[in-house]
């Protein structure tokens, strides 16, 4: 704003200054012209009353010199003007007659255009008509001395009278005015800049404070308020901001209370269900144990009861686990472990299901150990869940487990070639109880909390759990964990999308999931 104001005000002041200078200059020139014409008119009257000039044989040179001398003497000691008389002698051209022989050079200061105008008037016989023209006064050496105003008038058929008025005084006045205007203009521009900067600060500072307060509120500091003074628009802004922050705080508090009540409810219900479930479990075990003595229908019911009880227990333990995450009481028992080892252990659990589905689990493990500080139980659970899901949704096709590590992180990617994940579903797979196909028959897990818990477990490690998938092309679930607890992840040693290849942090290899049969060094089959 200050810059723009400066530019505009400099332009306005410049235009105004130039206009004023032109007005003053033309005013000065006009008044000088009137004074000059009046003076020349006096000279003309004097000339016309001179009997020597009106003689029948024309004017004698001595008469002309005496006339010019008399006219020149009127200019006084200050020499406020110079008089030049141009006379046409018989048989020759015009020559200058001046009162002082030393002033012969003055004739050169009369502009040719003025001489032409006067000559025309002379031809037309208008002896009393004046012509004026600005000119440059020349010194005896022919160099310009300063600006002047030339006034010419024909006084007879052969004579032309010229007055040269130097404009030195007017030039001085003009340069004084010009300097004053420049100083005043510069002062005005500076003053304007100061005023604008003060006004801008007056408006901008509260807006800046509002922006800072808003960013603090968005960063979670809901107690942030703005100081509202007076009744102007800025105070209105501050009041509205404060009201907004207060209502936001209230809403958030309400939501937090509601959510904590819900979480507490889930946790309480899960705990309460444990006791009756244990009793039911014991009773079901007794029933199942004596199932041989039951008739076939009752035996089938006992088996169903047994399997559904297992799912119920799994659901209850998942609910309790997620409640612990919600209540922020989940702890990380980190210890150094070889992630490849954890992968193989998790895969051993998934083997049974894989065998049922005819799925082959292929491992692509690095030759070296991938040591990281992890909670073995949690990471194993995450991997088990990913492998179970891959086999479950893999439609009997190969599942490829790739492990890679760089200096800072270890990553495990579980790739299947099954149904895949539909467009826009990547964000939902980690939601609680979300299923792509709710009607899909389930033979394992099936609590709908597996990936939600896995995500919480990954977050507890400050790691990432991400999904890629395309309908019909299968999916990839990638778990990335920092090598040491508390380090921030900046990248993953494995690509998420199988089409993409990334350079590892060591800058040596690039890793891609095999979509064909080609085996790489270090790959192991289970
Ligand atoms: P659950 O497997 O118990 O239903 P999860 O949280 O493990 O719950 O998975 C949630 C949903 O994500 C699944 O119901 C399924 O629709 C989808 N999903 C998970 N893994 C895969 C996968 N490998 N391929 C396709 N869809 C998957």
Distance, CA of 520 to CA of 513 (rounded, Å): 10
Who has greater pLDDT, 477 or 503?
Answer: 477
pLDDT of residue 507: 38
Measured in degrees and rounded to the nearest 5, phi and psi for residue 490 equal -115, -15
Distance, CA of 17 to CA of 445 (rounded, Å): 88
Specify the DSSP element, H or E, that contains 87. strand 82-88
Q: What is the 3-state secondary structure (H, E, C) of 475-507?
A: EEEEEEEECCCCCCCCCCCCCCCCCCCEECCCC
> Does residue 117 carry a pLDDT above 70?
yes
Specify the DSSP element, H or E, that contains 460. helix 450-460
Interval 113-140 mean pLDDT? 83
pLDDT of residue 517: 39
pLDDT of residue 110: 87
Who has greater pLDDT, 438 or 256?
Answer: 256
Q: Is the CB of 467 under 6 A from ligand 1?
A: no
Q: How many CB atoms lie within 10 A of CB 76?
A: 8
Q: How many CB atoms lie within 10 A of CB 164?
A: 22
Q: Is the CB of 440 under 6 A from ligand 1?
A: no
Centre of ligand 1 from the C-alpha of residue 445, in Å:
10
pLDDT of residue 413: 96
The β-bridge relationship of strands 144-154 and 131-138 is antiparallel
Tell me the pLDDT band of 500, cut-offs 50, 70 and 90.
low
Task: Give the CA distances from residue 467 to residues 68, 205, 214, 382, 435, in Å, rounded to whole numbers and listed in that order.
Answer: 112, 46, 34, 13, 14
> Does residue 368 carry a pLDDT above 50?
yes
Using one digit for the tens of pLDDT, what is the confidence trace for 25-42?
999 989 999 998 898 888
Between the two ends of the chain, the Cα-to-Cα distance in Å is 71
Helices (H), 53-167: 61-73, 112-124
> Does residue 294 carry a pLDDT above 80?
yes
Tell me which residue of 456, 470, 380 sits closest to 416, measured CA to CA.
470
Q: Is the CB of 393 under 6 A from ligand 1?
A: yes
Centre of ligand 1 from the C-alpha of residue 388, in Å:
9
CA angle centred on 379, ends 377 and 380, rounded to 5°: 65
Using one digit for the tens of pLDDT, what is the confidence trace for 169-199?
888 999 999 999 999 999 999 999 899 899 8
Centre of ligand 1 from the C-alpha of residue 318, in Å:
15
Centre of ligand 1 from the C-alpha of residue 479, in Å:
15
b/e string for 276-287 if b means 16 or more Cβ within 10 A? ebeeebeebeeb
Using one digit for the tens of pLDDT, what is the confidence trace for 323-332?
888 888 889 9
pLDDT of residue 94: 67
Q: Which residues pair with 503 in a beta bridge?
A: 510
In this prediction the pTM is 0.57
What sign for the dihedral angle of Cα 11, 13, 18, 19? positive
Tell me the pLDDT band of 92, cut-offs 50, 70 and 90.
low
Which pair of structure tokens corresponds to residue 399?
Answer: 């599942």
> Does residue 334 carry a pLDDT above 90?
yes
Which pair of structure tokens corresponds to residue 519?
Answer: 């085996």
The β-bridge relationship of strands 409-416 and 399-405 is antiparallel
Distance, CA of 8 to CA of 400 (rounded, Å): 70
Interval 152-171 mean pLDDT? 85
Locus of tokens 């009137």: 34
Nearest residue (by CA) to ligand 1, atom 8, is 448
Tell me the pLDDT band of 238, cut-offs 50, 70 and 90.
confident
CA angle centred on 390, ends 388 and 395, rounded to 5°: 115
pLDDT of residue 203: 81
pLDDT of residue 48: 78
Q: Strands, DSSP E only, in 40-184?
A: 82-88, 94-98, 131-138, 144-154, 159-166
pLDDT of residue 400: 94
Distance, CA of 359 to CA of 473 (rounded, Å): 16
Q: Is 78 helix (H, G, I), strand (E, B) or coil?
A: coil
Locus of tokens 């020139």: 29
Centre of ligand 1 from the C-alpha of residue 452, in Å:
10
Number of the ligand 1 atom closest to the C-alpha atom of 393: 24
> Does residue 512 carry a pLDDT above 70?
no
Lowest mean pLDDT among 47-61, 81-95, 507-521: 507-521
Using only C-alpha atoms, the chain has a radius of gyration, in whole angstroms, of 54
Tell me the pLDDT band of 374, cut-offs 50, 70 and 90.
very high
Number of the ligand 1 atom closest to the C-alpha atom of 453: 6
Mean pLDDT computed over every residue of the chain: 84
> Does residue 52 carry a pLDDT above 90?
no
Distance, CA of 479 to CA of 467 (rounded, Å): 9
Q: Is the CB of 417 under 6 A from ligand 1?
A: no
> Does residue 514 carry a pLDDT above 70?
no
pLDDT of residue 288: 87
Which pair of structure tokens corresponds to residue 428?
Answer: 């939902």
Which pair of structure tokens corresponds to residue 76?
Answer: 């006084």
Q: Is the CB of 429 under 6 A from ligand 1?
A: yes
């Amino acid at each position: 704003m200050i810059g723009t104001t400066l530019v505009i005000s400099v332009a306005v002041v410049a235009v105004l200054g130039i206009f004023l200078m032109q007005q003053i200059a033309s005013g000065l020139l006009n008044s000088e012209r009137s004074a000059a014409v009046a003076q020349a008119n006096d000279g003309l009257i004097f000339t016309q009353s001179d009997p020597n000039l009106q003689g029948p044989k024309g004017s004698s040179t001595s008469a002309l010199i005496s006339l010019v001398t008399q006219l020149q003497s009127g200019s006084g000691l200050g020499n406020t003007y110079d008089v030049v008389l141009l006379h046409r002698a018989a048989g020759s051209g015009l020559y200058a007659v001046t009162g002082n022989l030393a002033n012969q050079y003055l004739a050169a200061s009369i502009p040719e255009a003025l001489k032409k105008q006067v000559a025309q008037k002379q031809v037309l016989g208008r002896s009393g008509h004046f012509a004026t023209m600005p000119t440059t006064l020349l010194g005896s050496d022919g160099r310009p001395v300063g600006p002047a105003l030339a006034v010419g008038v024909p006084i007879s058929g052969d004579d032309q009278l010229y007055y040269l008025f130097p404009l030195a005084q007017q030039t001085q006045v003009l340069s004084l005015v010009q300097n004053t205007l420049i100083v005043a203009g510069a002062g005005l521009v500076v003053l304007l800049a100061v005023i604008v900067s003060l006004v801008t600060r007056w408006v901008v500072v509260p807006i800046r404070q509002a922006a800072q307060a808003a960013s603090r509120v968005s960063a979670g500091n809901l107690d942030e308020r703005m100081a509202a003074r007076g009744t102007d628009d800025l105070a209105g802004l501050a009041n509205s901001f404060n009201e907004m922050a207060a209502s936001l705080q209230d809403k958030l508090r309400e939501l937090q209370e509601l959510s904590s009540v819900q979480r507490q409810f889930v946790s309480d219900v899960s705990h309460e269900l444990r006791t009756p479930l244990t009793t039911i479990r014991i009773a079901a075990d007794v029933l199942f144990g004596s199932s041989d003595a039951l008739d076939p229908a009752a035996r089938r019911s006992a088996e169903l009861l047994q399997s559904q009880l297992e799912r119920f227990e799994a659901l209850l333990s998942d609910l309790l686990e997620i409640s612990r995450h919600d209540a922020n009481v989940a702890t990380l028992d980190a210890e150094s472990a070889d992630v490849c080892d954890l992968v193989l252990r998790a895969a051993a659990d998934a083997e049974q299901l894989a065998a049922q589905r005819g799925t082959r689990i292929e491992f692509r493990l690095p030759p070296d150990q991938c040591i990281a500080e992890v909670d073995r139980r949690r990471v194993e659970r995450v991997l088990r869940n990913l492998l179970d899901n891959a086999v479950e949704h893999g439609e009997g096709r190969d599942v490829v487990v790739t492990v890679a590590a760089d200096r800072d992180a270890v990553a495990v990617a579980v790739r299947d070639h099954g149904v895949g994940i539909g467009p826009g579903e990547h964000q939902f797979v980690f939601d609680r109880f979300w299923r792509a196909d709710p009607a899909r028959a389930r033979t394992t897990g099936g609590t709908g909390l597996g990936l939600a818990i896995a995500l919480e477990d990954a977050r507890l490690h400050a790691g990432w759990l991400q999904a890629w998938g395309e309908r019909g092309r299968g999916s990839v679930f990638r778990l990335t964990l920092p090598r040491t607890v508390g380090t921030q992840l900046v990248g993953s040693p494995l690509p998420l999308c199988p089409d993409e290849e990334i350079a590892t942090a060591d800058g040596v290899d690039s890793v891609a999931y095999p979509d064909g049969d080609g085996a790489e060094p270090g790959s192991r089959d289970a």
